Amino acid sequence: MTSKKNKARAPRETNPKKFKKKTSVLVTDKVDYVDYKDVNLLTRFVSDRSKIRNRRVTGNTVQQQRDIANAIKNSREMALLPYTKRVSNTRPGRPPRDGERGPRRDAAPAAEEAVDEAGADAGVTEDAEA
């Protein structure tokens, strides 16, 4: 009995999904050295929340990604790039709790019926005594 992890992968020729390999910005701009002071270049490799983008997204080689990550970390340390950016919160906040809550979904109707029955019985006995 073989598990899925032990099976060999199919060769790329038989793989029906064809994909085009991304070309790196460093290759297209012919950048030899990634400088931590080149903020315009480094912002291309950072998301809107200031996270470093993956190799898969940017198309960098392993060495290029390592150089870019180190340059981004150095520029953050030198305060040229932010560690995080504030993103406006589009989700509505919770309503304020004033102590007045709506009726409970499952327990409220049963409790009201029990109170009504007890109140009706109590009301009858009070009227009979008076």
pTM score, whole prediction: 0.55
Q: Which CATH superfamily is domain 33-87 in?
A: Ribosomal protein S18 (4.10.640.10)
Higher pLDDT, 45 or 87: 45
The pLDDT of residue 119 is: 60
- Let me know the angle formed at the C-alpha of 85 by 79 and 91, rounded to the nearest 5 degrees: 170
Residue type, 74: N
Domains in the chain: boundaries = 33-87
- Could you give phi then psi for residue 46, rounded to 5 degrees? -120, 140
- Is residue 44 within 8 A of residue 60, CB to CB? The reply is no
Predicted confidence at residue 53, as pLDDT, reads: 94
Q: Is 120 helix (H, G, I), strand (E, B) or coil?
A: helix
Phi then psi for residue 52, to 5 deg, are -70, 130
Better-scored residue on pLDDT, 124 or 105: 105
pLDDT digits (tens, 9 = 90+) for 20-73: 788 888 888 898 999 999 999 999 999 999 999 999 999 999 999 999 999 999
Residue 87 has pLDDT above 60, yes or no: yes
pLDDT band at 91; cut points 50, 70, 90: confident
Mean pLDDT, the chain, integer: 78
